[in-house]
Amino acid sequence: MFFDFREHSPNGPFFNEWSFSDDGSLFIYTYVESDFLTTKIRKVDSGKDCDEVMTSMKASVVTWAHDNTGFFYFVR
């Protein structure tokens, strides 16, 4: 299984945002952890998360750059 939503939310899917990069190599996901959001990036080929983690956001929107060099996020 590539991604099990219960891994981070055993009592239900509390996911705010998720998206694949345009080339399909990366998957970004944001989930609720206590009162804040946590955002992680997963490599599709390995199924492993990257080391970078963004935390302590109240709400966000994420989108990938079309050349797959990174992503943009808007915190509201």
- Per the CB < 8 A criterion, the answer to whether 68 and 22 are in contact is yes
pLDDT band at 11 (very low <50, low <70, confident <90, very high): low
Identity of the residue numbered 65: A
Question: Number of structural domains, the chain?
Answer: 1
Cβ atoms of residues 40 and 53 within 8 Å? yes
pLDDT for the residue numbered 1 = 65
pTM as predicted: 0.77
* Higher pLDDT among residues 10 and 4, named by residue: 4
Residue type, 19: S
Question: Residues 22, 7: contact at Cβ < 8 Å?
Answer: no
* Sheet strands side by side (includes 36-43): 15-20, 26-33, 36-43, 49-57
Residue 65 domain boundaries: 5-75
